[in-house]
Amino acid sequence: MGVADKGPPSPQPPPARPAYTDESLAAALRGGVDPSGRVWDPVMPRYKLQDDDMAILISYLKSLSSEFSPGVDAATLRFATVITDDLTPDRYQEHLNLLDNFIRRTNERTNHIENEVRNPRVKRQLMVSGRVAYRKLSLSRWMLKGAPETWRSQLEEYYRKEPVFALIGGVSGTAWKPVHDFCESNHLPCLFPQTDFPVISETDWYTLYPSKGYYQEGETAARFLNRCDDFPDSGKILMITRESREGIMLNDGFRDTWRAFGRAEPFTVRIAEKEFLSPERLALLVKTEKPDAVVIWDNTALPEAINSLTAPGIEPPNKIIVSSGFLDLKFMELNDNIRDITYITYPERLPMDEKLLEAYFFGAKPQGLKIGDGISKSAKQTYPLIKVLERALREMKENFYRDYLLDIISMGKDLDVPLYERMSFGPGQRYASKGCYIVQLGKGSRPELVKKSNWVIH
């Protein structure tokens, strides 16, 4: 700093250097001299970058926030949660209650400490340690009505009235893409929306999904088949795809993955949305195509069509693959004599494993998820969101930047949760649960699920 005069330190800050331009920043990063001519401390490396690399670095530096993101003011940090009107309240009410509880508890703790703790240093200490949130939290409900094509303008309207810092949770039974796209355009984080139809992208940034939903089941089926020693290299696949949102996502997950393995395209038959997959049609397809494996992304294939493949005169394929998500509990209706060749994608912990863990997750009412017997799916789905929020708020402190929030979550430790074997992020990772089992049904009328794969197949 200044000249070594022996007087008291000057109250003036050192003269500010001129703002960096692209050129002076590049020169400084290379040579270590700032625009005022001051030489940087040698601890700061001198980066001898070429022009194109330097341009990447500088554009990255420019992308970093210099002001707080929208959705925060001196008193409040605002969140919203999106609910779509294709759902009945029993599908989302508990989710909303749990989120409200979380917000209330956090605010109560903050209020309590603000009112009770007088000593500002102690208060500061409590903030730094994450015991107090730096702002009161608020949560709005953004209810979307009508067709998904109309959601975007509804979202923009909500956002115009009340810019929020992030969307948290939310539930939809149909599309999620309009919300996803809205978040991308507004650089608005969206944490763990409950949807089976996440947008699959390797570069989109703002939505963190619990998993890839149906896509992940399709992907897993392809990975499984690719690893089956008894499935020939040039094996033939008959894929039957219902033209519904579910069927198409399962189909795409399978097809993309199978292609990436360099395998021959499956022979794909589409079932129109109003059509029913009849036993005759399936039997005929199997007879004429003689596939080594049949992949069925259709929720009308059971109980009749698949079970009829063991009828006399039909040579059943070596393997049949179906989705537990799409069939729901119908997969329990597989006949005994077809269970040996039928493989089911199962993207969650198996019920028996989960049961064992219920006490661990909910018994000691961790962080306010205080629920009695029979823990609902909704509570299990909300659990990781609350974990992530607690941690993120604690670590974000007063740095109310959306990109920072996403960075914190990306760099967080893996999550132990009831529903999935493991949820984890990492820089750039956007789908937390990466797993899906392949299971088969055991024998009998109340069959067990038998694991045929690890949680993740490569």
Partner 1 sequence: MRIPFHLKSALVAILLCVCILPARPAQAADIKYKRSVERYNVPDVVLINQDGKKVRLQSLLNSDVPVIVDFIYGTCTTICPVLSAGYVNLQRKLDADSKKVRLISITIDPENDSPKVMKEYLKRFRAKPGWDFLTGSRADIDTVMRAFNAYIPDKMSHYPLNLIRMPKGGSWVRLFGLMSTKEFMNEYLLATAK
Tokens describing residue 380: 């299990």
Shortest CB 456 distance to ligand HEM, Å: 33
CB count within 10 Å of CB 187 equals: 14
Rounded CA separation 85/350 (Å): 30
- Work out the end-to-end distance of the chain between its first and last CA atoms, rounded to an integer number of angstroms: 57
Provide the minimum distance between the beta carbon of 229 and partner 1 in the complex, in angstroms, as a whole number: 11
Residue type at 232? P
Interacting partner of 41 out of partner 1, ligand HEM, none (Cβ under 5 to 8 A depending on kind): ligand HEM
From CA 23, how far away is CA 46, in angstroms rounded? 15
The one among 43, 75, 352, 359 contacting ligand HEM by CB under 6 A: 43
**Positions in 389-448 near partner 1 (CB under 8 A):** 411-414, 422, 424, 426-429, 434-435
The token duo for 135 is 């702002």
Given the DSSP bridges, would you call strands 166-168 and 449-451 parallel, antiparallel or unpaired?
unpaired
Distance CA 246, CA 325 (A): 9
Cα–Cα distance, 236 to 264 (Å, whole number):
8
Q: Which of 24, 27, 33, 40 is close enough to bind ligand HEM by CB under 6 A?
A: 40
Q: How far apart are CA 326 and CA 271, in angstroms?
A: 15
Q: Shortest distance, CB of residue 232 to partner 1, whole angstroms?
A: 17
The only residue of 12, 63, 66, 88 in contact with partner 1, by rule CB under 8 A: 63
> Applying CB under 6 A, does 34 fall inside the site for ligand HEM?
yes
Closest distance to partner 1 from the beta carbon of 47 (Å):
5
Q: How far is the CB of 429 from partner 1 (least distance, A)?
A: 6
Give me the least distance between CB of 2 and ligand HEM, in Å please.
14
Cα–Cα distances in Å, from 331 out to 213, 225, 242, 318?
18, 19, 16, 18
Report if residue 41 touches ligand HEM, rule: CB under 6 A.
yes
Q: Which residues lie below 8 Å from residue 28, measured CB to CB, with a gap of 6+? A: 20, 34, 35, 40
Whole-number Å distance between alpha carbons of 393 and 131 = 10
Work out how close the CB of 388 gets to partner 1 at its nearest, in angstroms, rounded to a whole number: 14
Helix, strand, or coil (residue 293): strand
Taking the least distance from each CB to partner 1, the nearer of 48 and 124 is: 48
- Residue 59 in the binding site for partner 1 (CB under 8 A): yes
> Which stretch in 43-51, 143-151, 265-273, 378-386 sits in contact with ligand HEM by CB under 6 A?
43-51
Q: Which of 30, 44, 125, 398 forms a contact with ligand HEM (CB under 6 A)? A: 44
Q: Which conformational region is residue 185 in: left (phi greater than 0), alpha (psi within -120 to 50 degrees), or beta?
A: alpha
Confirm or reject binding of residue 49 to ligand HEM (CB under 6 A): no
Q: Which stretch binds ligand HEM (CB under 6 A): 42-50, 242-250, 270-278, 446-454?
A: 42-50
Token couple for 234: 């040039």
Please report, as ranges, the residues that interact with ligand HEM according to CB under 6 A.
Answer: 34, 40-41, 43-45, 57
Please report, as ranges, the residues that interact with partner 1 according to CB under 8 A.
Answer: 45-49, 53, 56-57, 59-60, 62-63, 187, 203, 205, 260-261, 411-414, 422, 424, 426-429, 434-435, 454-456, 458
